[in-house]
Structure 1
């Protein structure tokens, strides 16, 4: 990884971030299975500690299922303000090593350290120093993947979790890809993985064996991506100026709602969250969208675009209310509502992340 002609990309991923913050701040939680979220009928696990993961508890798992799998599971309400502050300190560490930082979320980011600002011998040693500095600054562990492109670096960061790192060098990249299941590949979701399985594609080697024409026939515009990654190729740069396209927040209710006043109250709470983000970043959009999910999981959206940006709290609240009122009266209960602002007229601040998704029982 010392070849200066080869890009040096590090993908840093914090270990069980939300849950680890809670265990750090409350010593009684250390060594115990912890879920960040709410133990309500409609609760959803936002994050799980490694102790909880041993029981099959994962993020996005319904709380009821999580408690069934792990009766000793401890639920802790999320503290997004704390997570955001810790994330800010982590990014300050990143900035000591490179200006090319592309955040993916509060707890992970790509770093391009090709320029080697600190004069460290290799990207491997750079990653070790970054992880040590994060531990010193926050008391939390991170894992890292090091490679010559973003796709491989992200795969590598998961290879030695938790609190480890792994490097995929140029001479090992294509061969390393061959033995991995395609379900682990970034850009191959569960539905696509199932489709690939039906087509006889289970590993990177299977994917590489398919012609571009075959991939195009079955996967359309994604064919080029699959063709490239099966060969360990990814030319995407680490882009610190990635423009946010939207900002949104949503909530799942404790029970399905039919009362318009209760539904509107939920929409207003989400509008308030979105407005706080927009105001703090001085980033305002022209399009407001309200998302509605019914009790049977059918989902619809209602949107409204204006000629100018929504620049006041009252305007955003009114737009959101008008949109949700367009579905009244409701014939069936609503389990979730969300509000999103998009089509920004002023580019959002670099590297900001999505507002957190609020779950049932959480105060706005």
Structure 2
């Protein structure tokens, strides 16, 4: 009985996929059970058995390769190439690879086992640009550049009296106060950006018009740490200024800034000259962003000692009223954006550090066990 291999392909792009290369090293073409029928063109949106092979009678094995590219005869830029190679020899281990380059992505491919003779594989070919355009737009403070763009520009938060920005009422939703000017990333450093959507320098150069970063100072009341002081009671708290070692992702749908940059201290530059050059670019980008925004990675203990300051404060509730002491947290977000050739700006990396904590009192009358707001702001 002949050994066989069949591949069913779903073309999830809007272009036909044409065969551009096919080589039969051993065995026979046998697509859809038809002998000598080689790899087939896959129409846009179609699922077909795109290629099949079989061995000669008996355990003689088979080996072949073939590739598909998109039909771009209308003059559009090509998407790329999908290549398949399969070798099932008589007395050695089996091997098979399915690779895509350019804009193409291959899903559902499974490697074949080292032994065995008969295989059926299913793959789905898509264009990653189509996937990006279909993504649901997240309209939040962090991801919507139009909102951040309208915030007042202040280059250094150290020059600002933060007290004037604390509102009279309690607002637990994060509010943007001001931002720095944008910092454009030089094209020669783009290879240091770990853009998960455009994961090669080729795609970045074809699809991206700009990468830039910005620091945004925000304010929120910390609901988890509000302290209630009963009438006539006292509480001691600390106002704090300076850098925090606490770093977190701004949004669970967006990777941290550190992850959005390729360079890490563990990066190895010992493989090839090309790798050495790549790591050099990645490290240089991180150094530039550190210099621009002062902090990027976890803050060192030395920075904490030199820059963190605190002031102890005592609050006393009125004799006839309860009082809440609310910590107001000023945080600094470092945001990394991409603007594509369609002028769509997308957040691709973000991290946040608490910069200062200032406490304020909010006083209440106590009547029938219900708090009624009397005044806000406090000292």
Q: TM-score if structure 2 supplies the norm length?
A: 0.19
More strand by share: 2
User: Over alpha carbons, which structure has the higher Rg?
Assistant: 2
More helix by share: 1
Higher relative contact order (CA 8 A, sep 6+): 1
